[in-house]
Amino acid sequence: MKPALKIYGLRKPEAELLAENNLTTEWLKDDIGMVYPKKITSNFKLPAGMAFKKMQPNIRCEEISDYPGFTTIICGLSGKPLFPYKITRNRLPGTSAYFAAPITVVVIDANASNWIIINQYEVKMKNGEVSLKRETIENNSLASIEIRYPQFANAATAAVNRSKQVQKWGAQSPYPAWAAIR
């Protein structure tokens, strides 16, 4: 989970300056780039004097299923699935999907024994600094989640089922976790 900034009107010299400041640019289109820190951190600051016509804070996150019996699912505040973007190269082992979520995202971590942790992440931008805040919503059993947070019941169930698959098949199980909650 990393804070990110979608920058419109980004040019190559500016991307090089960002790289000198330990920021990675992932090009989405010719002049649109997703900028995020090279290391996992909760905030980053743009170099002084950089101004762009439009910037949108995002959260760069991925669904992970590489630990036996453990899975992460990404969804919105309503519990509905978000749509991942396609990465054709440099995909990390055990990562089933990548997301660039605007403003707020919910991350559901589950294990094969029906234990769920639900975290909400929110990204903000102020004075060129992009920061990511995490709040734990719940740390409880699947049965409790279904009663207390019904909007997350489908995603939590999908996460538990996926973690059981990973426990049985390993990280290369037959389908990605996000597909289960469509």
Output the average pLDDT for the chain.
82
Distance of CA 37 to the CA centre of its chain: 14
Which tokens is 50 given? 């950089």
Task: Parse the chain into domains and list their residue ranges.
Answer: 2-181
161-178: per-residue pLDDT in tens?
888 877 776 555 444 444
Q: Identify the weakest region by mean pLDDT among 38-42, 112-116, 125-129.
A: 38-42
Two tokens, residue 9: 């009107």
Average pLDDT over residues 24-41: 86
Q: Which own/partner contact pairs does 88-94 have at CB distance under 8 Å and 24+ positions apart? A: 92/62, 93/66, 93/171, 94/64, 94/65, 94/66, 94/67, 94/171
Closest CA to 55 of 32, 76, 37, 39: 32
Q: Higher-confidence residue: 130 or 85?
A: 130
Picking from 28, 34, 42, 108, the residue whose alpha carbon sits closest to that of residue 70 is: 108
What are 33-91's pLDDT values in tens digits? 889 898 887 889 988 878 787 888 988 887 766 566 678 888 989 998 887 776 555 55
Residues sharing a CB contact under 8 Å with residue 126, sequence separation 6 or more, in sequence order: none
